Amino acid sequence: MKKMGFRFKKTDRGRHLIMERQDIVLARCKYLRRIKENRESCNPRPEIYIDETWVNQNECVDKCWTNCDGKLGPKVKSGRGARFIIVHAGGVDGFVPGGLHMFRSKNGNKGDYHDSMNHENFCSWLDNKLLPNIPPKSLIIMDNASYHCKVVNKAPIQSSRKQEILKWLVENDLPHNPLHTKAELLHIVKKNKEKEEYAVDEMAEKHGHEVLRLPPYHCQLNPIELIWAQVKEEIRKNNSNSSQKLRVIEELTRKAMNNVTVENWKKCVAHTKKVEDEFRRNDIVVNHMVEKFIINISNDSSSDEE
């Protein structure tokens, strides 16, 4: 639960309540507000959702498959073998034409698929396959993967030298007194950390687009997740008795991607909008309920966190 952004708080009566972290709530509220503003504006930006997923070589087979003669074949553990990484984007008009990027992972099926991606690969796909093929002035929606969030003007930290801190403050036009202590200067940095800029955002802005990041731990707000589920289900159905050759897996994957229709995308986006509305309603209810509790914040301790 802690990894999902929750923590315990103690009330005045000694009871513990599980509550969502305020930074997660803030990120969700900012996201929902921005996307609503876009849809209600006079000239809304087309929403383009991007994401990465994977398909394992033997992920979609039964534990025990049959040969063409009907005899039982060897058991194959789900997920064994090579892995394909898929990067794509889409919206209410379907997948972005020419936006598919599919490659074999160098790490096999070990670890998360994020281990097979890096900032350079992602930016290459963004520059060559996404940005040239999406509508003008799009709103590009993505998650907070590390390769989506490389900072080009990273804010100084505690271990930074005072001259580095002063340089960052000057470059970002932030008022400060060079004679102040390092601690005072870092306090100014902390209050203005939003001045940090992401490389991906700069690339998109040069083409007239805007990047909007999903709140952490909220993949359900990305309709492409439902598209991935549809694609993998089709692969699973057509691969139950396959020889599991990489060529076959790649062909099945591309075919499943091509079978995703505009209508499929519209349904997934419509479902996501319902999830957004549910979050808005729940946030109002939770905010009202929390107001009724007296949270004893001063008694927070490491034992409370546990």
Query: Up-side HSE of residue 262: CA atoms within 13 Å toward CB?
Result: 4
Cβ(156)–Cβ(189) below 8 Å:
yes
Tokens 């490659």 found at: 103
d(CA 299, CA 306): 13
**What pLDDT tens digit does each residue of the chain (306 aa) get?**
666 566 666 555 555 556 678 888 889 999 999 999 999 999 999 999 999 998 887 755 443 333 334 344 444 445 566 788 999 999 999 999 999 999 888 765 555 555 567 888 999 999 999 999 999 999 999 999 989 988 887 778 888 888 888 888 888 888 888 888 888 888 888 888 776 789 999 999 999 999 999 999 899 999 999 999 999 999 888 876 555 678 888 899 999 999 999 999 999 999 999 999 999 988 776 666 666 554 444 445 444 444
> Considering only CA atoms, which of 83, 41, 94 is closest in space to residue 60?
83
Helix then strand then coil, % of the chain, to nearest 5: 45, 20, 35
Partner residues linked to 56 by β-bridges = 83
pTM, 2 dp: 0.76
Can you say whether the dihedral through the CA atoms of 266, 268, 272, 275 is positive or negative? positive
Which residues neighbour 164 within 8 Å (Cβ) at sequence distance 6 or greater? 156
Tokens 């969030």 found at: 149
Q: What sections of the chain are H helices per DSSP?
A: 22-40, 119-125, 162-171, 182-191, 199-206, 224-238, 246-258, 262-290, 302-305
